[in-house]
Structure 1
Amino acid sequence: MLASFLDPIETALFRRYGMRGSFVSSPYMTSTRERAKGATLITRWDAEFLRERDSARVIASDLAWAIASIAAVWLYMAFNTRSLFIATCGMFEILVSFPIALLIYRFIFRIPYVGNIQALSIFICLGIGADDVFVYFDAFRQSATEAEVGDALFDRLMYSTDRASKAIFVTSFTTTGAFLATAWSPITPLAAFGIVSATMIAVLFVVNVLLFPAALVLFARYFENMTWRQFLPASKEINESEIVESKELGRVERFFHGPFYQTLRRPFVRFVTIGAFTAMFIVAARFCVRLETPSKIERWYSSKHLVQQFSDRDQTAFLRSDDDLVVAVDVFWGLLGVDMSSVSQWDLASRGRLQLDESFDVSAEVSQVHILNSCLTLRHASCSSRGCRDGRLTRDVDCFMEAFRDYVGEENFPVPRDSFLDELWEFRSSSVGSRYAHQIGFRPNKNSGEPELFFVKVSTKSTLMHQAPASVSRGVHDEFEGLIRNLNEVAPDGVKSGSQTAYVAWTWMRMQETLVDNTFQGISICFCMAFVVLCISTGNVLVASICSVSVAGVVVSVLGIGVYRVMHWSLGIRETIAAVILIGLSVDYGVHLGNAYVEAPAAMKSRGDRTQYALATMGVSIVASAVTTVISGSILWLCTLQFFAKFAFLITTTIASSLVWALVFISLLLITLGPEGEDWKLKTICGWIGERACIMLEKLKNSRLEESSRTRGSRK
């Protein structure tokens, strides 16, 4: 009925203002200004049904940009690898991983929840999947220049698989772990996003390891001697020249091997740049400390969208009174809360089971007086929290018991127990008491069917402003909790279960606190896990420590400088996700460089030679991976939903920061402090620890023997 009533109205409005949508745009993004020349009238409208339908329309249009992202990544893969075959195989691996991961998520993990935020997994995994392809293909391409690798296809394939699969496994493992850290979040969309993303990355690794070696075999046999622009065999002369060029470094490898490395190795450049990175780390860390949770709910649309215009201007300008600016707090008796034990985290429609206080009884005279005194206490309660104004906890109290006392007369209050419920029912049904009907809860008795009282409440207006940050709201919440606790301590039997709630205000406060907890919990888990994995992967504690410092630098740079200083954002849902993604994405580049440094040929003894080798072999893969992730994430700028559009900034800045910290900072520290020979190797450290442990055990054994000898001597 509602749909049939609003559909022609919406159609008429679209026609009246010339509002048209497209495959990637909502009609509500069109201006509703009068089309007459010089007109200044702007019409806005809002309806729940139209808002929900346009939300579905916007989500569909934003997800359509994923097609553009896939096409852009495929084109860049073809450009970078110079092979349409490799690019197509790589994109096939990425795309086939999405449905497999979703099937695992739905039928193995048995999670029914699907939300908008999970669409971000597609854009992120496009970049990560392309990174796997580049690492594998670059290893195969560089195998032709390695002296210890034979010319046989089998030898080249074994070299590529050995080098690439290890790097891909480590990066996939750390990134999967980073996303799984969000799976512990009590916030359902955040947990679902982490599980889906982690599953996709794990599946990507398995699919890549299983399929890409076969793709390389087909490429080497049928496509390696073809141009990348067309599937036509090249002439014999071109084949020979290409074979000669394949024995040399490519342009990007030559850049990292020559000019880039030669610049970094200069002492002045090294110490000045390391000092600059250190200063930036300190400044960014100080900005990170200032990050606070959002003071209001995040915007879903841009300011051009009609729904957002209505929300931003019309409600603020015309529909809100002074009372609407403060948080309403209700105090209940008779309700113990909501039992959520049987509610699944993934079932957002379930609200749990309301728990009633079986001992609740307000009919006693002392209980009536207690409720009345509680109203007086609430009205005159003081507050020392910075969230309260004028030192008061409440600005207004709406108390049914005061009105009930006036209704029956002060001389007749409190009402005798036997007649209290009848008098209260009559008061609730009267013209005076009907406005308090929501404060007096009657329900039919299960046995007799007669109305019985199961809760009462008192409504207050606190002095806390709406949309205050959690750090402010928490103090006011605790003041209310303390006041209710004191009232319950002196309450008579039957009304000892007083409780308070501010509904959305307290829920939003807890949501903000959970976001902060998740951020630091996720960062701590991911950082520790990344360090352990780096130690195991590189086999060198010093290299792992250098890469870990780089990861920390990326985190503070993006959150402190990018989020706090440049964009002036708060620590909301997208920033919480970004904090975890930061570690997952930034650790990849450090792993590539660290492994290449450690696995440099034995003939390369010095720090400089090893760093130069790492840059030449892995620099091209790192840059290609960064470009594809930026291309994939940048498509999000075009989305209508602000959540997606703003996430584009977080992805691009994360990748840019990771690229700089990895290629410059890690390289500088490896040139300056990198391990040489057996220094800082895990097996060396473990051997030293084992040797020291044996020495200590030997000393302990000798001391016990000496003590035993002295004991026997004293007995003799």
Structure 2
Amino acid sequence: MFLSAILIQTGYDLIPIDFAGIPLNILEDRAFLRVKAWMNRGEDGTVLSNGADVGGERSSVADSLQIFYQADNVFTQEHLQTISDFETKILSVANFGKYCKADSRSPTNNCSKPLSILRFFDGTFGPTFNDPTFSDIVGKLSAAQNSPKLNEVLQFYLGKEAVINSTTATAKSSITRSMIQFGYPLAGYDEQTGDVDEQQKKVQTFLVENVRDLLIDANENGLSGLTVTYTSGQLFSYLIQSQVIKDLMLAAGSFLFIFIFMLIQTQSLFITSCAVGGILISFLGTNLVYRIILDYQYFGIFHVLSIFIVLGIGADDVFVFNDTWRATAHEKHERLDERLSSCYRRASKAMLITSLTTTIAFIANAFNPMLAISSFGIFSGILVMVNYLSAITFFPCVVIIYHLYFENWTWPCFRCCKKKVEPTNLTDAEKFDGHRKNLIVRFFRGPYYYFVVHKVARWVLLVLSLGLIVFFVYMATTIGPQEEQIQFLKDSNNFQKATNLNLQGFRPSSDDNVIKVYIVWGLKHQDLSACHKTDSKCKGKTVWDDGFDLNPKPAQMSLLQLCKRIEDMTDEENGDLKIRRNSITGKLEVKCFLDRINDFLINEGNDTSLYSPTVDLSLPTSETKMATFMGAHPELYNMSAVSPNFYRYFETGMSYWLNNGYSGVTSYDFREYNKLIGVVNDTFDTQLISNSSVWTFGTRLRYAAITVNTTLQAGKLGFEKGLVTVEAWEKFVNDEVAKLPPSLSGGFQCTPDRGNTWHWLKVQKSLVFSAIQGIIIGIALALPILTIATQNFILGSLATLTIMCVTVTVVGIIPLAGWKLGVLESLNLSLVVGLAVDYVVHLAEGYHISKHTDRRGRLRDMLENVGISVLSGACTTLGASLFMLMAEILFFMQFGIFMFCTIGFSLIYSLVFFTVMLGICGPQNQTGSITPLITWVKNKLTGRNKYDVDCDVCEGHGFRAPVKNGE
């Protein structure tokens, strides 16, 4: 603790908290590395631009605020006016103009209008759609529906059951939505040295301070008959970070419950205070190992669970040692150190077995490729062992101090109530008449013991236990994979409602949350070799494909043909690729910049005021074509300054198209394609447009992408079906790229939008595999550890069988609760073995150390000596987990349910199934003992044979040959 305080004072980031995201990434996955390359293109300092001021103030979307309005019919005059008034109120908040996304068509950076159904009534789409009083709702919406271009836009605002029919004068929808966008860079931002994360924090601060209260009020109280739900990436991030802290405060309730329960059990404020303090200090000690020695730089939302885990496990160790210490009072010991030694040997061994098995179960997660899970497993595993070390070093000192100085001490005001004890010379063991004073101990050694060994009751208990196991085995076979995206909040939470509405509430539209496949050229997989092993935010290094070039004619024509090939696919060819067909045009939705360039250049060549009728400027470009083009625009191109070896003709035509002829008016194509292509200055060919200090021509095309919309919705695709589509796309793109010229041979496909869906599918599969792997590793290692610890194969096997029963029961709870196997469930399952092992191990150890040789005598000793510790440990963990059920973050609540069920069924199976099995077939005498095997192995290693005898003074060997007659 002292070291921690010093490090914190020196500014060391001792607990690198990051609750903003969960790093569930497989770093070696090609889908991850490809998207990483796309998302961070240009981060290496390469200036990527298309001539126009693409990095202007508030030019990129930093956040989008979506507001959902619901009623029986939102398309009424009253409701539309209410929506208009509410949006106006948001647009009028302080400093909105500093943070809104700028309208790229506005020369003065005016705020872009919200995307809203209101745009069909305010003249945005022309005078036909100018109805500020909403007097002709049916007419305006019907006109939009009948317009091919506007109909596609309109679909975004219509609920699934919406009806717009001019014949019946109907305009009805139970839901609509608006989207208000906020932008960065903000004023004064340096694109080369600025921190985008810092920019987003400023946007988040603005939203929290100026907009959030308006949204909360509308959500809680409604708006004139409208139900309001909202969502925003920055507001969601703010909620999660603040909610984690609030839910973490529930640990205070768990702490208080454990403190009170421990106080009742130990009947000592001194022992309880020291024990709980030791548990909390073990958390700090663990963090020092985790952060400083192992150099982990991530402490996330999953790590918070370790607080609840250590409270339960730490209390269990305290009860084991304290109850063992009390039990030694019933034995004859000549001296205090002899009594402590007896207690220490038994308790430390029992705690070691449980701590070791629990640690192994947690550490098994270290092999998980995802940082959030592997780091949590390592942290929790270390925590369990640090707590064990504290329990065997610090707590014995506490017990001895209490025994010597406080055991007979009473609060002054209660001393008059304390019964006087007559002086006696009896030892601690002789003060008792053979019966324990503790009610629970008497119950376990008496009524419960006779019940579980009763010739009828035991078989009834066994049949009931087996029936319960069979039921949960069946339920476990019905478990299915989670197809939806990870859910952080309960269904009743505003943000979760908004997520569900986005996925399920609206008609298909061009702005749907569909998976978009990018086919990319110019980039290679991101280089992460310089990143710290635990730095989830490291962007890595961009690796460019220097061979990428679209100037060769075969390259242009091949890429055009590829676009055409995708657009003209038959339904059979499109089967596994799932490309979406436009509901209006009927064509497959492909966004190919070469198609647009080709159309633009053809139209340019048809301008008879600039070119002769025989001029052909269509792709592929050539020196002759582009020389004619450039010569027709002397105001832009100084042909006398163009080198005879000029090469970048394709890029010259591309830049003219993208920048709308350098007119200063942003075109639709610029907004649609600017992010899909990037250029960099060429050493030899790049020049400024005449009389311009901004625009250039002759740049080098650095990267380019074409995009394809699929029918698949992000967040609603499971890995079993999804990975089939991934492999279909991988095969298709690889096959097509193999046919392209060498300058296009480096193309690949990826899905950078919507959280990298292709990668997320592989993460889902990995999570399921890791959960199964963790269970198998935990159980596989439990058997040899328990067998060696109890030195009996039968006892170890029965204990392992019990752990397996607990595990399959918890797995069966998932479908029983209506859940599927997703991120949260997989993580919880990886912890089941670690949490399930404690109680059966304590009981097995109690059976093993019994001085009796028959199974009934051993069983009774086990229940008498260990039963109270098992019950106490279970009660504290069950009580602690109950507080987690009140958490707002779904994972915390779900973990509380998992923890409660795991501990509850561990207690049931341990005290019922395992105990009954011991009463029926528990090992007697030396049956199942591995002691002879251990002895044989030891003798083989030391060279001792069967004729040697023990010897205390034989040069450290401990044995010698027998003495012969006459020697």
Fold agreement, TM-score > 0.5:
yes
Q: Can you list the C-alpha shifts for 1:514-571, whole angstroms capped at 9, x where unaligned? A: 21121122112222222221122111111111111111111110111x1121x12122
Matched, 1:524 2:776: yes
Among candidates 257, 278, 286, match of residue 445 of structure 2: 257
Distance in 1 of aligned mates of 2:527 and 2:220: 47
Equivalent residue, structure 2, for 1:31: 220
Where do 1:635-654 residues align within 5 Å?
635-654=883-902
Q: Can you list the C-alpha shifts for 1:598-621, whole angstroms capped at 9, x where unaligned? A: 1110xx222222122212211110
Matched, 1:679 2:930: no
SS of 2:825's partner is: helix
Among candidates 159, 181, 206, match of residue 389 of structure 2: 206
Where do 1:489-568 residues align within 5 Å?
489-503=738-752, 504-560=756-812, 562-565=813-816, 567-568=817-818
Partners of 1:384 and 1:391 within 8 A in 2:
no
Equivalent residue, structure 1, for 2:324: 139
Among candidates 829, 846, 849, match of residue 599 of structure 1: 849
Equivalent residue, structure 1, for 2:564: 376
Partners of 1:144 and 1:151 within 8 A in 2:
no
Equivalent residue, structure 2, for 1:408: 601
> Judging changes above 3 Å, is the alpha-carbon distance between structure 1 residues 411 and 650 closer, same or farther for their aligned structure 2 residues?
same
> Judging changes above 3 Å, is the alpha-carbon distance between structure 1 residues 328 and 11 closer, same or farther for their aligned structure 2 residues?
closer
> Judging changes above 3 Å, is the alpha-carbon distance between structure 1 residues 609 and 617 closer, same or farther for their aligned structure 2 residues?
same
Among candidates 480, 483, 486, match of residue 732 of structure 2: 483
> Judging changes above 3 Å, is the alpha-carbon distance between structure 1 residues 429 and 112 closer, same or farther for their aligned structure 2 residues?
same
Among candidates 350, 357, 368, match of residue 185 of structure 1: 368
Displacement of 1:116: 1.9
Matched, 1:357 2:558: no
TM-score (norm 1): 0.86
AA matched with 1:144: A
Distance in 1 of aligned mates of 2:433 and 2:737: 82
Distance in 1 of aligned mates of 2:499 and 2:265: 46
Structure 2: state its 5+ residue gaps. 1-94, 96-202, 603-615, 624-646, 661-666, 687-697, 941-967
Matched, 1:421 2:651: yes
> Judging changes above 3 Å, is the alpha-carbon distance between structure 1 residues 386 and 590 closer, same or farther for their aligned structure 2 residues?
farther
AA matched with 1:362: L
AA matched with 2:826: T
SS of 1:524's partner is: helix
> Judging changes above 3 Å, is the alpha-carbon distance between structure 1 residues 362 and 8 closer, same or farther for their aligned structure 2 residues?
closer
Distance in 2 of aligned mates of 1:210 and 1:78: 21
> Judging changes above 3 Å, is the alpha-carbon distance between structure 1 residues 307 and 325 closer, same or farther for their aligned structure 2 residues?
closer
Q: Can you list the C-alpha shifts for 1:408-428, whole angstroms capped at 9, x where unaligned? A: 348843333753332233233
SS of 1:681's partner is: coil
Partners of 1:387 and 1:475 within 8 A in 2:
no
Q: Can you list the C-alpha shifts for 1:102-146, whole angstroms capped at 9, x where unaligned? A: 122222221121212211101111010000000001001111223
Distance in 2 of aligned mates of 1:486 and 1:85: 73
Q: Can you list the C-alpha shifts for 1:403-449, whole angstroms capped at 9, x where unaligned? A: 33333348843333753332233233334743333333222236765
Displacement of 1:278: 3.5
Distance in 1 of aligned mates of 2:718 and 2:840: 36
Q: Can you list the C-alpha shifts for 1:272-317, whole angstroms capped at 9, x where unaligned? A: 4434434443443343344333222232223444333433336754
Partners of 1:131 and 1:621 within 8 A in 2:
yes
Where do 1:52-451 residues align within 5 Å?
52-146=237-331, 149-150=332-333, 152-226=335-409, 232=415, 234-237=418-421, 244=431, 248-249=435-436, 250-313=438-501, 317=505, 321=509, 324-379=512-567, 380=569, 382=572, 388=578, 395-409=588-602, 412-416=618-622, 419-430=649-660, 431=667, 433-434=669-670, 435-445=672-682, 451=699
SS of 1:299's partner is: coil
Distance in 2 of aligned mates of 1:461 and 1:3: 31
Partners of 1:225 and 1:239 within 8 A in 2:
no
SS of 1:302's partner is: coil
Distance in 1 of aligned mates of 2:861 and 2:574: 63
> Judging changes above 3 Å, is the alpha-carbon distance between structure 1 residues 279 and 362 closer, same or farther for their aligned structure 2 residues?
farther
Partners of 1:132 and 1:168 within 8 A in 2:
yes
> Judging changes above 3 Å, is the alpha-carbon distance between structure 1 residues 375 and 284 closer, same or farther for their aligned structure 2 residues?
farther
Partners of 1:387 and 1:473 within 8 A in 2:
no
Structure 1: state its 5+ residue gaps. 18-29, 693-716
SS of 1:668's partner is: helix
Among candidates 472, 476, 483, match of residue 721 of structure 2: 472
Matched, 1:457 2:644: no
Distance in 2 of aligned mates of 1:479 and 1:299: 28
Distance in 1 of aligned mates of 2:843 and 2:411: 28
Partners of 2:770 and 2:830 within 8 A in 1:
no
Distance in 2 of aligned mates of 1:339 and 1:486: 25
AA matched with 2:288: L
> Judging changes above 3 Å, is the alpha-carbon distance between structure 1 residues 552 and 378 closer, same or farther for their aligned structure 2 residues?
farther
Distance in 2 of aligned mates of 1:252 and 1:96: 31
Equivalent residue, structure 2, for 1:705: none
Distance in 2 of aligned mates of 1:469 and 1:16: 36
Partners of 1:84 and 1:228 within 8 A in 2:
no
SS of 2:548's partner is: coil
Partners of 1:82 and 1:228 within 8 A in 2:
no
Partners of 2:859 and 2:919 within 8 A in 1:
yes
Displacement of 1:164: 0.3
AA matched with 1:258: G
Q: Can you list the C-alpha shifts for 1:618-649, whole angstroms capped at 9, x where unaligned? A: 11101100010111111112222222122110
Partners of 1:145 and 1:246 within 8 A in 2:
no
Question: Looking at CA atoms only, which structure, 1 or 2, has the larger radius of gyration?
Answer: 2
Partners of 2:579 and 2:709 within 8 A in 1:
no
Equivalent residue, structure 2, for 1:625: 873
Partners of 1:385 and 1:479 within 8 A in 2:
no
Distance in 2 of aligned mates of 1:478 and 1:165: 53
> Judging changes above 3 Å, is the alpha-carbon distance between structure 1 residues 432 and 280 closer, same or farther for their aligned structure 2 residues?
same
SS of 1:464's partner is: strand
Distance in 2 of aligned mates of 1:229 and 1:322: 78
SS of 2:543's partner is: strand
> Judging changes above 3 Å, is the alpha-carbon distance between structure 1 residues 547 and 377 closer, same or farther for their aligned structure 2 residues?
farther
Distance in 2 of aligned mates of 1:4 and 1:520: 42
> Judging changes above 3 Å, is the alpha-carbon distance between structure 1 residues 56 and 691 closer, same or farther for their aligned structure 2 residues?
closer
SS of 2:408's partner is: coil
Distance in 2 of aligned mates of 1:528 and 1:221: 44
What is the alpha-carbon root mean square deviation over aligned residues?
3.3
Displacement of 1:690: 11
Distance in 1 of aligned mates of 2:681 and 2:412: 79
Matched, 1:590 2:840: yes
Displacement of 1:685: 4.3
Equivalent residue, structure 1, for 2:178: none
Distance in 1 of aligned mates of 2:935 and 2:216: 80
Q: Which moved more, 1:474-483 or 1:275-284?
A: 275-284
Q: Which moved more, 1:430-439 or 1:75-84?
A: 430-439
> Judging changes above 3 Å, is the alpha-carbon distance between structure 1 residues 455 and 111 closer, same or farther for their aligned structure 2 residues?
same
